[in-house]
């Protein structure tokens, strides 16, 4: 089974305010996108899991639009604590507990994305703490909270440019601490080579990605590994040729001009990747 994810970042922000949604009003975005994508993905239903992670404000309409289709809906992380009957009634202002994600209709959650890791590292640094193990410990609480509500987890790992000399120990630590006590049967790992993501940076090559994917599977076992550095038209065929890679994470489909996510381009990426896997 292959796994292809989409992480809709800043699609709840109008383009004139810096967002990247140029297709519809933000309130109708998910209900516009899903009907354009789902019918063309149906032929892969038995061989690929499709999950789309939306900002919380767009989740209800996304769940409604995806009902009966091959697309599942997820959210962008959960809080490390949750509500409990007869216990904490949910005093987590500004945070999304896993129970809220489940109640909204989500089936999956994205945890440990490099942007989330950066945020937590920055907060710890403000307090004078630079121990990266603490971030993995916090993410572990999020993973366990999500799984306690029956949510599947896409867990991201990856090394920064300052960590290239110790890439293997960094990723091993992220896996061993972040997934401690987790049910691995509902986990997919996304590998994000943080050092190669962004304008002007050299994308990670096939040999490097293969090396890391092999390490992940040697540490954690037969858990699916997807490429989180951006599955795109330019690398879909290459990634599909890597035996240890089981899918990818997409954020945008167009990176120049009117950047953003465009359904036809998304379908082309999926087809390039899946056709490669079927060869």
Q: What are phi and psi of 247, to 5 degrees?
A: 145, -160
Active-site residue among 49, 72, 142, 192?
Answer: 192
Residues 15 and 60 sit within 8 Å (Cβ to Cβ): no
CA distance 81 to 98: 8
Q: Respond yes or no: is residue 192 known to be catalytic.
A: yes
Burial annotation 174-198 (CB, 10 A radius, 16+ → b, else e): bbebbbeebeeeebbbbbbbbbbbe
Long-range contacts, 202-211 (Cβ 8 Å, 24+): 203/229, 203/235, 204/229, 206/238, 206/241, 206/242, 209/239, 209/242, 209/245, 210/242, 210/244, 210/245
Tokens for 101? 């994600």
Q: Respond yes or no: is residue 3 known to be catalytic.
A: no
Q: Which of 221, 249, 259, 268 is nearest to 108 (CA)?
A: 249
Q: Where are the alpha helices (DSSP H) in 70-192?
A: 98-104, 114-126, 132-148, 167-178
CA distance 260 to 152: 26
Tokens 């989409």 belong to residue: 6
Active-site residue among 3, 49, 113, 142?
Answer: 113
Residues designated catalytic: 113, 192
């Amino acid at each position: 089974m292959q796994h292809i994810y989409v992480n809709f970042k800043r699609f709840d922000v109008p383009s004139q305010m810096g967002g990247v949604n140029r297709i519809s009003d933000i309130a109708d975005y998910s209900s516009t996108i899903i009907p354009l994508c789902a019918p063309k993905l149906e032929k892969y239903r038995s061989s690929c899991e499709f999950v789309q992670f939306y900002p919380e404000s767009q989740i209800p309409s996304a769940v409604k639009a995806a009902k009966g289709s091959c697309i599942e809906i997820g959210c962008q992380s959960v809080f490390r604590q949750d509500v409990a009957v007869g216990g904490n009634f949910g005093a987590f202002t500004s945070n999304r507990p896993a129970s809220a994600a489940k109640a909204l209709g989500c089936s999956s959650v994205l945890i440990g994305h490099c942007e989330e890791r950066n945020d937590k590292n920055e907060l710890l640094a403000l307090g004078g703490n630079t121990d990266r193990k603490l971030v993995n410990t916090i993410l572990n609480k999020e993973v366990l909270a999500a799984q306690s509500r029956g949510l599947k987890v896409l867990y991201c790992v990856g090394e920064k440019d300052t960590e290239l000399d110790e890439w293997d120990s960094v990723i091993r630590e992220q896996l061993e601490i972040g997934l401690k006590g987790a049910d691995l049967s509902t986990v997919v790992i996304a590998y994000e080579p943080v050092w190669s993501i962004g304008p002007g940076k050299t994308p990670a090559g096939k040999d490097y990605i293969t090396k890391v994917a092999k390490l992940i599977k040697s540490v954690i076992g037969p858990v699916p590994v997807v490429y989180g550095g951006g599955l795109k038209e330019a690398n879909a065929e290459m990634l599909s040729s890597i035996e240890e890679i089981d899918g990818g994470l997409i954020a945008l489909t167009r990176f120049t001009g009117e950047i953003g996510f465009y359904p036809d381009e998304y379908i082309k990426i999926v087809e390039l990747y899946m056709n490669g896997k079927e060869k």
